[in-house]
Amino acid sequence: MLQTSKPFARTLLAAGALLALTLSAQATTIYTGSMTITAGSPTQLGRLSRSTTNQPTDWSGSRGWLGVINTTTSYQYTTLDLNIAALEAGYSYGQYLQITIDSTSANTFLAGYLNTYDTSSAANWQATWLGDAGNSGNLFTNDPRSFQVTVGSGNHLLLVLNETSGTGLGLNQLAGITVEAFTDTSYTDLPAAVPEPGSWALMAAGLLAVTALKRRRAA
């Protein structure tokens, strides 16, 4: 039977631990980008109300729709249409999404909708609303806001960034967007169908290093 020295065993365990850390993650990021409202962006009458307690939506559904305000005021907005199935290609599908917005502007507000965004009536608006960030701007200047939604297989997540002042103060304010996917509400990341090429390369390099170390010790 092949005898494995203690140093060799420790090295092998270290290589395995390094590979495990490489393959694990707190979340699977499926999109990163930015949104900006400009002078040429479309307009709507009224806007989604913000939370007076800064409470974002989460997977528990503890905070619901807050309604539409200022229905005679014109606000500009921009949209981002994300095909979730395409973005999660190669992963085991998870319908739990967390959206993070990094913006210092107090005059923009991000919300998520299912497939379409129709503000022709409050009822239509609410029908596809999934959730929102609760309020505007980063929490502590450098601490982005996050909110959670669920999007079933085969659907699109439509992100809408609204200008909230009605006077253009939210124009040209860059908002960084990150969308992360989880398989459940326990923040389990999406398992990839196959390890990424870089992970295989790391594992191969680790095994080669272990083999070389064993040969040097045997010499």
Predicted confidence band of residue 146 (pLDDT cuts 50, 70, 90): very high
Predicted confidence band of residue 140 (pLDDT cuts 50, 70, 90): confident
Residue 32 is predicted with a pLDDT of: 97
Better-scored residue on pLDDT, 145 or 197: 145
Q: What are the two backbone dihedrals, phi and then psi, of residue 97, each rounded to the nearest 5 degrees?
A: -120, 140
Q: In what order do the strands lie in the sheet with 43-48?
A: 43-48, 68-83, 156-163, 108-114, 129-132
d(CA 30, CA 180): 6
| 102/12 same-domain check | no
| 40/116 same-domain check | yes
User: Which structural domain, as residue segments, surrounds residue 20?
Assistant: 1-25+194-219
Nearest to 77 by CA among 100, 45, 105, 52: 45
Residue 12 is predicted with a pLDDT of: 41
The type of residue at 211 is T
- What are the tokens at 173? 């304010």
Predicted confidence band of residue 11 (pLDDT cuts 50, 70, 90): very low
Q: What is the pLDDT of residues 39-60, one digit of tens each?
A: 999 999 999 999 999 999 999 9
As for how many domains the chain has, the answer is 2
Nearest to 123 by CA among 82, 71, 183, 165: 71
| 52/135 same-domain check | yes
- What are the tokens at 178? 């990150």
Residue 18 is predicted with a pLDDT of: 34
| 86/167 same-domain check | yes
Instruction: Give the DSSP H/E element, type plus range, for residue 23.
Output: helix 6-23
Residue 205 is predicted with a pLDDT of: 55
Average pLDDT, the chain: 82
Predicted confidence band of residue 1 (pLDDT cuts 50, 70, 90): very low
| 90/18 same-domain check | no
DSSP letter, residue 90: T
Helices 6-23 & 197-218, crossing angle to 10 degrees?
170
